[in-house]
Amino acid sequence: MSILQQLEELKTQALCELAAVEDNKKLDLWRVQYMGKKSRLNEVLRGLSALSIEEKKTVGATANQLKLELESALKEKELSLGEKVISAKGEETIDITLPGRKPPVGRLHPISQVIDEMCRIFVSMGFQAVEGPEVEWDYYNFDMLNIPKEHPARDNMQTLWVDYENEKGERPMLLRTHTSPMQVRVMEKIKPPLRIVVPGKVYRYEAIDATHIPMFTQIEGLAVDKGITLADLKGTLYEFARRYFGSDRKARFRCDFFPFVEPGVEMSIECIVCKGAGCRLCSNSGWLEILGAGMVHPRVLEGVGIDSSVYSGFAFGMGIERIPMLRYGIDDIRLFYGGDLRFLRQF
């Protein structure tokens, strides 16, 4: 067995035995056996000078690394045994005078915090927050939103299909690509007047990079009543922008296309970084697009049996991750889902 293999085995054995140590006496024995003068590790370290330069490099580095690892494992063990002291009778007792260890307290994920804050704003304007399924039918995700099979709008939503086949040989189940299907589900159950927001996860089959991940979060809004107009849509979203981004932040609407609204718009806010002057973040336009919206398409209303000559409504959908990214200057969306506490603890 090569020296490197021996060291590897030594490491496994030492750490295993250390894990089983339950008192200070055994810990002393462990220390002598694995880190003492006559330990195998020390022998290797002392024998380094006899090795060739090449071997010195690899064996020396590995042995020193092992020494550091054993030292820190030993320290940890000492700490964990620290509360136990040996009484006069030689039995272990707990030293109750030591201060307790603080249990770590968690916190809400930054995305959950944004969702809470947004829902609070919309709830104060009379909206109800509801949630819906992430595994969805093609019927709700596309058909009922005026996106029939073969419609090119489906191509913009790289869909993750569920491996389930019905009797007709179709694959009608998918991971929802947006929160909009909940518009239909809610209108099927609740008759207008209604006002809802729907936060939740959505999925798209996309390559991962600094601005794309296959699972992200959206918040959908829907208001249906008699006499709802584009002015209500603009008023609601201006008020949202004022409360969420601050009263001095300008917002603008421009025409856009979504099959389930007519007319469709996109809303942008003045760039957070350059305040409209133009910078890299806003591609020199001074504006950042934050959501799609519009007046609910009559076909969507009729699809759920709502008379579109009596009722009208507006809807909007916003990607959530982008918002804190803009607010705090976070340049990589993957940070939200990497589980790195150094990142998460900043919120």
- Positions in the binding site for ligand DAH (CB under 6 A): 178, 180, 220, 258, 261, 292-294, 315-317
Q: Please tell me the distance from the alpha carbon of residue 266 to that of residue 212, in angstroms, as a whole number.
A: 20
Least distance between ligand DAH and beta carbon 141 (Å)? 10
Least distance between ligand DAH and beta carbon 237 (Å)? 11
Q: Please tell me the distance from the alpha carbon of residue 314 to that of residue 296, in angstroms, as a whole number.
A: 5
Least distance between ligand DAH and beta carbon 265 (Å)? 8
- In this complex, which beta carbon is closest to ligand DAH, that of residue 66 or of residue 202? 202
Least distance between ligand DAH and beta carbon 111 (Å)? 16
- In this complex, which beta carbon is closest to ligand DAH, that of residue 122 or of residue 316? 316
End-to-end, the C-alpha distance of the chain in Å comes to 51
Least distance between ligand DAH and beta carbon 317 (Å)? 2
Q: Please tell me the distance from the alpha carbon of residue 261 to that of residue 313, in angstroms, as a whole number.
A: 9
Q: Please tell me the distance from the alpha carbon of residue 177 to that of residue 137, in angstroms, as a whole number.
A: 11
Q: Please tell me the distance from the alpha carbon of residue 70 to that of residue 42, in angstroms, as a whole number.
A: 12
Least distance between ligand DAH and beta carbon 272 (Å)? 21
- CA triplet 279, 283, 284: central angle to 5 degrees? 50
Length of the chain: 347
- In this complex, which beta carbon is closest to ligand DAH, that of residue 11 or of residue 138? 138
Q: Which residue is nearest to ligand DAH (CB)?
A: 317
- In this complex, which beta carbon is closest to ligand DAH, that of residue 86 or of residue 215? 215
Structure tokens given for 85: 């002291």
Least distance between ligand DAH and beta carbon 310 (Å)? 20
Element (DSSP H or E) covering residue 256? strand 251-256
Q: 143 with 304: CB under 8 angstroms?
A: no
- Write down the H helix ranges in 223-304: 230-245, 298-303
Least distance between ligand DAH and beta carbon 262 (Å)? 10
Cβ neighbours of residue 100 closer than 8 Å, sequence gap 6 or more: none
- In this complex, which beta carbon is closest to ligand DAH, that of residue 246 or of residue 263? 263
- In this complex, which beta carbon is closest to ligand DAH, that of residue 47 or of residue 263? 263
Structure tokens given for 272: 């957070």
- In this complex, which beta carbon is closest to ligand DAH, that of residue 258 or of residue 336? 258
Structure tokens given for 258: 């979504």
Least distance between ligand DAH and beta carbon 254 (Å)? 13
The secondary structure of 52-73, three-state, reads: CHHHHHHHHHHHHHHHHHHHHH
The secondary structure of 168-189 as a DSSP string is TS---EEE-SSSTHHHHHHHHH
- In this complex, which beta carbon is closest to ligand DAH, that of residue 315 or of residue 325? 315
- In this complex, which beta carbon is closest to ligand DAH, that of residue 199 or of residue 317? 317
Structure tokens given for 161: 């299909």
Cβ neighbours of residue 188 closer than 8 Å, sequence gap 6 or more: 304
